[in-house]
Amino acid sequence: MPPPVVLAVCLGNICRSPTAEAALNEAARAIELAIVVRSAGTGSWHVGHPPDPRMREAAAAQGLVLGGTADQVDAEALAESHLVLAMDRSNLDDLRRLAARARVETDIRLFREFDPEAGSDLDVPDPYYGGEQGFIEVVQIVRRTSRRVVELIAAGDLARPG
């Protein structure tokens, strides 16, 4: 059976979702779980660009290396994924509309549904227009949530292939 494919999605694919991609891969490696992780944005503004330098710096300071370049989500990416994780409600709405138009039935969820510390706020805050602390906070949120997502995948409770 092929490994599950997880797609993390934010607005521009330069802050939150590439951090989630790196953190999900890190969490999967830690428990030797085979998964394929990708990230994309709902918008096209940053396609082909690397993650935001402020995000890379905040992640690196916490031992997480971000790589790759921004991509825009499309129906094919949704169809190829077993689990799509939206960083906020706006992304979730956009993804669900895209899936409905394309008749794709992939499981699309809010990433922070799995955050043990989320409380009632299920949006990963977008740090793009804020200061350094916002980027640091995103790394912390994404790492702890990624550990939980990977645990659930390993237990067979999420992202079941085929």
Catalytic entry in 56, 126, 143, 147: 126
Report the alpha-carbon distance of residue 98 to residue 117 in Å, rounded.
29
The backbone torsions φ and ψ at residue 86, rounded to the nearest 5 degrees and listed phi first, read: -85, 140
Is residue 162 situated within a structural domain? no
Q: In the beta sheet, which residues pair with residue 40?
A: 9
pLDDT at 138: 98
Q: Are 74 and 41 in contact (CB under 8 A)?
A: no
Distances, alpha carbon 146 to alpha carbons 1, 75, 106, in Å = 23, 24, 19
Q: What's the pTM value of the predicted model, to 2 decimals?
A: 0.96
Is residue 103 part of the annotated active site? The answer reads: no
Residue 37 belongs to some domain of the structure: yes
Q: How far is CA 77 from the centre of its chain?
A: 13
Q: What CATH number has the domain bearing residue 10?
A: 3.40.50.2300
Is 10 an active-site residue? yes
In a domain, 160, yes or no: no
Confidence of residue 159 (pLDDT cuts 50, 70, 90): confident
Q: Is 15 a catalytic residue?
A: no
The domain of 123 spans: 5-154
Instruction: List the catalytic residue out of 10, 15, 54, 147.
Output: 10
Distance CA 67, CA 56 (A): 8
d(CA 142, CA 101): 29
pLDDT in tens, 22-74: 999 999 999 999 999 999 999 999 999 999 999 999 999 999 999 999 999 99
Quick check: 162 pLDDT over 60? no
Out of 16, 38, 56, 143, the active site residue is 16
DSSP for 112-132, written as a single string: GGG-TT-TT--PPP--TTS-H
* Domain total of the chain: 1
pLDDT tens digits for range 9-24: 999 999 999 999 999 9
Is residue 159 included in any domain, yes or no?
Answer: no
161: in domain: no
